[in-house]
Amino acid sequence: MRGGTRTRQKQQQQQEYLTEGSTVEVTSDEEGFEGVWFDGTILNYSLNKKKVLVEYRSILADDNGSKPLRELVHVSFVRPVPPLEIVECFGLHDVVDASYKDGWWTGVITKVLDDSRYQVTFNNPPDVLEFCVSDLRLHKQWVNGNWVLPGKQGSAISCLWVLWVQIIVSCMYISAE
């Protein structure tokens, strides 16, 4: 019986951020947006259905831009906002989230540039972009109620993945010309 009590307490702690008015991040399994995190606020939480009504901060419901999008999403697509950390510089192969197109997109630093700028390579969709340090944060995963930092992506497989993405992006630019 004690194990059941611990499990309930752990679930309660993990879901304390799922309250009305909480600022959260929401992801999607929609193609092209997997793993992208968008800022939102919980408007309503249905415990028995495991869904929350979220109002996005930067995604609009219509082309007029008059109202923020509201959407009912499963709790598995919602996490608290990661703790704020001031990072003055990043290293080669650090896994980061880049503030881009109204969300946080996960990529790998593939080049350290001058003036606190970094080249970031993305897998989904494949792209290579430059960002200043203020538009980046260390990537963290919300796992069982705890924030977990991934290791650097410097393995041979990761380097091949980065090279593959850079080749695809280069081909996309060449074919567009």
**Which residue bears the tokens 């408007």?**
43
Which two tokens mark 134? 């203020």
pLDDT of amino acid 92: 94
Cβ neighbors of 35 (< 8 A, separation 6 or more) are: 27, 105, 106, 124
Domain 95-176: state its class: mainly beta
Alpha carbon 45 to chain centroid distance? 22
Topology (CATH) of 2-80: SH3 type barrels. (2.30.30)
pLDDT of 167 reads 57
Q: Where in the chain is the domain with CATH 2.30.30.140?
A: 2-80
CA–CA gap between residue 13 and residue 27 (Å, rounded): 21
Q: From the first residue on, what is the mean pLDDT of each consecutive set of 10 residues in the chain (177 residues)?
A: 53 72 95 92 86 94 84 95 92 95 95 96 91 96 91 54 53 54
Predicted structure pTM score: 0.78
